Amino acid sequence: MSNRDISECVRASLEEYFKDLDGEPPHAVYDMVLQCVEKPMLQYVLNRAGGNQSKAAEILGLNRNTLRKKLQQYKIQ
């Protein structure tokens, strides 16, 4: 899967979301999309790193403390 494939998935999901609103005003779309993408990404990479937070942070290109904050935010062990 390429970056373009991921972008197309997000775009298609947003199209569906706005269609499903059926005239209702959208709210906090930015946070919604980030949470939908960020949590499973963190879970996947942490699992891929065998639970090693330092390795996961390196894979993600994040500082380890930043990763820890995000793991707490999403209640990921």
Burial grade of 70 (CB within 10 A; 0-12, 13-18, 19 or more): middle
CA distances from 68 to 4, 5, 72 (A): 29, 28, 6
**CATH fit for domain 25-77, picks 3.20.20.70, 2.30.30.90, 1.10.10.60, 3.40.50.300:** 1.10.10.60
How do the domains of the chain map onto residue ranges? 25-77
69: its two tokens: 């904050």
Q: What is the full per-residue pLDDT of the chain (77 aa) written as tens digits?
A: 677 799 999 999 999 999 999 989 999 999 999 999 999 999 999 999 999 999 999 999 999 999 999 999 999 98
3-class secondary structure, 49 = coil
Q: What pTM does this model have?
A: 0.82
The pLDDT score that the predictor gives to residue 2 is 73
CA neighbours closer than 13 Å in the CB half-sphere of residue 14: 16
pLDDT for position 24: 93
The tokens describing 57, both together, are 């942070």
